[in-house]
Structure 1
Amino acid sequence: MESERELRITLIGAGTIGLAFAAFHLSHLPAPPHLTIYDTRPNAEDYIRANLPKFFPKAATPPTSAVKIATSLPEAVSNAHIIQESGPENLQIKQELWAQVEKHATKDALLWSSTSGIPASQQAANMQDKTRLLVVHPYNPPHIMPLLELVPSPATSPAVIQRTQDFWRARNRVPIHIHRETTGFVANRLAFALLREAIHLVDAGVVSVAELDGIVESSMGPRWAVAGPFKSYHAGGGPAGLEGFFGNIGETVQACWSDAGSVNVGDGWEDKVFAQAREVYGTVDVAERDRITRRLLEVLEEEKGKKLSDAPLES
C-alpha cells in the first residue's frame, strides 16, 4: 500500500453509501486528502457538495472542498490506488463498470464493490483478470459502523484480501473475511432472520411493532453490542459454556426453532406492519441514530481499552 500522504482513493457512486464512505475516508486521510468521486448524475458536483457535509457531526468542519469530482470514468480511476464502487444493485451495470474500470486502472489498484448481495464472481464476469475484484460490504451507516465484510470470489487473489484487511485494520475498522460466497453475505442474513421472526410475531398479534422494538432495544440489542450470540450463550451456560446452555434449555430452543414464523414478502402482512411502523416512527431521525451509535461505539472502545490496561503484564 502507498504511504498515507500519497494514497489516492476513488469512489464510484454518490448515493447514501458512497457519500458515507467519502465522509469516512476524508476523516482518515491526511491533509490534503486525495479523494475523487465519480457519479453519472447530471448535477453530480452540486449534489455532492450539498449532501456530503451532512455525513459529518455538526461541530465538525469537513474538508469537502478538497474532494475532486471527476467528469469521466477514465479520469476518475486512472491514478487511483483504491477504487470503491457503490453504484446501483444491478448486475449488468456492475459487470460493464468493472470491465471499463479494468481498462483504465493501474495494474495493482485495489478494486472493491460495496454491493449488498451481488457476488464478486458474477460482477467480474467481463473482466480479464478476475483475481482483482473483492466485495467490501459495509454495515450501514459505513462512516460509523466498524464492520466490513470481505467477500472474495473463488478467483480473488489472497493478496488482495490481505491488502484490504490491512487497510481497514489500520483505520480501526473490523474487516471480516467471509470464506465462501453466500446469498446476502453474513450480517444481513443474521439481521434478516431476526426481521422475519419479528414480522411473524407482529403479524400474529403477539406484540406490536413498538413493543417488539422495545424488547430488542432493552435486551439483546445492548447485549450483542458487547458479545455476539455465541459468546452470549456460551456465558449463559455458566461453567459448562454453550454445551451447558443447550443442556439446560435446549428443548425450549428447539421448540422456538420449530415454531419459527414462515413469512414471505408478498404474503399479506405488509399493510399491517408498514402501517404500525409509520404510525409509531413517521420519518426516523437518522442524525439522532448516528449520534447515539457513535457514542455507544466510543463507550465500547473506552471499556475495551480499560480491559487491556488492566491486564497483568507478562513476566
Structure 2
Amino acid sequence: MGHQGNDIRITLIGAGTIGLSFAAFHLSHLSSPSQLTILDTRPDLEEYVRSTLPKFFPDAPISHVTLSNSLPDAVRNASIIQESGSENLPFKKSIWAEVEKHAPQDTLLWSSTSGIPASQQTADMQDKTRLLVVHPYNPPHMMPLLELVPSPQTSADVLTRTQEFWRTRGRVPILLLKEMTGFVANRLAFALLRESIHLVNEGVVNVEELDRVVETSMGPRWAIAGPFKSYHAGGGAGGLEGFFKNIGGTVQKCWDDTGKVNVGEVWEESIFRQAKEQYGVVDLGERDRITKRILDTVEKEKNNE
C-alpha cells in the first residue's frame, strides 16, 4: 500500500449516518484526527458534524478533522476514499469518475453501498479495476462485518490491501465470490423480515411478540453461531444431516408455506402503525451500548475456549 502506518489519510464522501459511523471508527484508530477528511456538500456541514458525530464517538476530536465541500481538494492526497453517499446509481457513477481524475493512482476506492454493485458504479471510470464495494453492517463503528464485493474487474491487489486494512483493525472482512443483489447479510436479514411480516399479517403474533421471539431464541444463538453451525449442533452426533433426517419434513412444510408478502401491499399500514406505537423513536444509544457488551462478551468467551 502506498500509504502506511501513521501516513494513512482517509477521505469519507458523505456525512450521513453510515459516513459518520465510519468516521467514529477511523478516528478511534488513526494516530491523528487530522488524517481524516469528511466531504459533503451540505451548507451546514460543520454544525451538523459537531452535533451528530459525538453520538457515535462522544469524545470525537472534531476540530482537527478536515471538513470539505470540494471533491478535488478532499481526495487529492487520500490513501483511502470511502463513499457512503445516496443509494443512487447516477450519483455513484459520476462521483467515481470525478474521484478518479483527482485521487492518487494507488488510492483505495471503496463504496459502502447496500445494493448497487461495483460493476455498475464503474461504468464511467477509465480504470475499473480500482473500485470495491465494502458494505458494512449498521452501525459500522461497532459491527465487525465488512462484505467485500468486487466486480469482475476489481484487482486482486485492491482486495488484498483492503482485507489487510480491516483485519489489522479487528474487523471481519468477508469476500463475496460474486456480485448478488443485497449481498449476503441483508439477504439473510430481509428473508427473516419477510417471514416476520407474514406471521404478523396472518395474525399469529403481533409486532412486539415477534421481536420477543427473536430476542429470546435465535438472536442470542446467532451471536455465537450462524445457521449452519447452529443446526449442525442441533443434529447431535449426526450433525446437519442428522438434523434434516429428524425434522426435514417440518422444515420443508415451513419452506412451502413461507410468506409471499411484497413491499407496497396492504400489510404496511397495520404493521407500520404497530411498530410506531410499540417503539416510537428507538434509542440508538441503548442499542449501541448493549450491542458492544454482547460483542465484547462473545469475543472474550471465544478467546477463552
Provide the alpha-carbon RMSD of the alignment.
0.9
Q: Give the aligned partner of residue 15 of structure 2.
A: 14
1:91 aligns with 89
SS in 2 for 1:184: coil
SS at match of 2:129: helix
* Cα distance between partner residues in 2 of 1:217 and 1:164: 33
The whole-number CA distance in structure 2 between the counterparts of 1:70 and 1:223 is 44
Paired amino acid for 2:194: R
Q: Partner of 1:186 in structure 2?
A: 184
Q: Supply the distance in 2 between the matched residues of 1:70 and 1:267 (Cα, whole angstroms).
A: 42
Partner of 2:210: 212
Is 1:200 the counterpart of 2:204? The answer is: no
Distance 2:33 2:133 in 1: 28
Name the residue aligned to 2:238. Answer: 240
Q: Contact 1:112/1:134 (CA < 8 Å) preserved in 2? A: yes
Three-state SS of the structure 1 residue aligned to 2:181 is coil
The letter for the 2-side match of 1:80 is A
- What residue identity is the alignment partner of 2:13? I
In the TM superposition, residue 48 of structure 1 has moved relative to its aligned partner by: 1.3
Deviation at 1:32, TM superposition (A): 4.7
Q: TM-score, normalised by structure 2?
A: 0.98
Q: Aligned AA for 2:198?
A: H
Structure 2 unaligned blocks of 5 or more: none
Confirm whether residue 107 of structure 1 aligns to residue 108 of structure 2.
Answer: no
Which residue number corresponds to residue 46 of structure 2?
45
Distance 1:159 1:302 in 2: 33
Q: Report the 3-state secondary structure (helix = DSSP H, G, I; strand = E; otherwise coil) of the residue aligned with 1:267.
A: coil
Q: How far did residue 37 of structure 1 move?
A: 0.5
| Worse-matched range after superposition: 30-39 or 290-299 | 30-39
Letter in 2 for 1:10: T
Q: Is the 8 A contact 1:77 1:105 kept in 2?
A: yes
- The equivalent residue for 2:249 is 251
The percent identity for this pair of structures is 69
Distance (Å, rounded) in 2 between the aligned partners of 1:145 and 1:163: 20
After TM superposition, the score normalised by the length of structure 1 is 0.95
- Hey, what's the Cα distance between the residues in 2 that align with 1:63 and 1:187? 32
1:137 matches 2:135: yes
Contact map agreement 1:82 1:111 (CA 8 A) in 2: yes
Per mean C-alpha deviation after superposition, the further-off stretch among 206-215 and 37-46 is 37-46
Unaligned segments of structure 1, at least 5 residues? 308-315
Which residue of structure 2 aligns with residue 63 of structure 1? 61
Q: Give the Å deviation of 1:50.
A: 2.0
User: 1:117·1:184 contact (CA, 8 Å) conserved in 2?
Assistant: yes
Correspondence 1:296 to 2:294: yes
CA shift, 1:71, in A, is 2.9
Matched-pair contact (CA < 8 Å) for 1:10–1:77: yes
- Aligned-residue offset at 1:184: 0.5
Corresponding residue SS for 1:292: helix
Aligned-pair CA distance for 1:240:
1.1
Residue pair 1:26, 1:33 contacting (<8 A) in 2 also: no
Question: Who is 1:31 aligned against?
Answer: 32
* 1:33 to partner: Cα distance: 4.5
Q: 2:14 and 2:66 mapped to 1: Cα distance?
A: 13
SS in structure 2 of the partner of residue 247 of structure 1: helix
Q: Where does residue 311 of structure 1 map in the other structure?
A: none
- Alpha-carbon distance between aligned partners in 2 of 1:233 and 1:279, rounded to the nearest angstrom: 35
1:124 is matched with which residue?
A: 122
1:279 maps onto 2:277 in alignment: yes
Partner-residue secondary structure (3-state), 2:126: coil
Structure 1 residues 220-229 or 278-287, which shifts more?
278-287
How many residue pairs get aligned? The number is 304
Distance in 1, Cα, partners of 2:132 & 2:146: 12
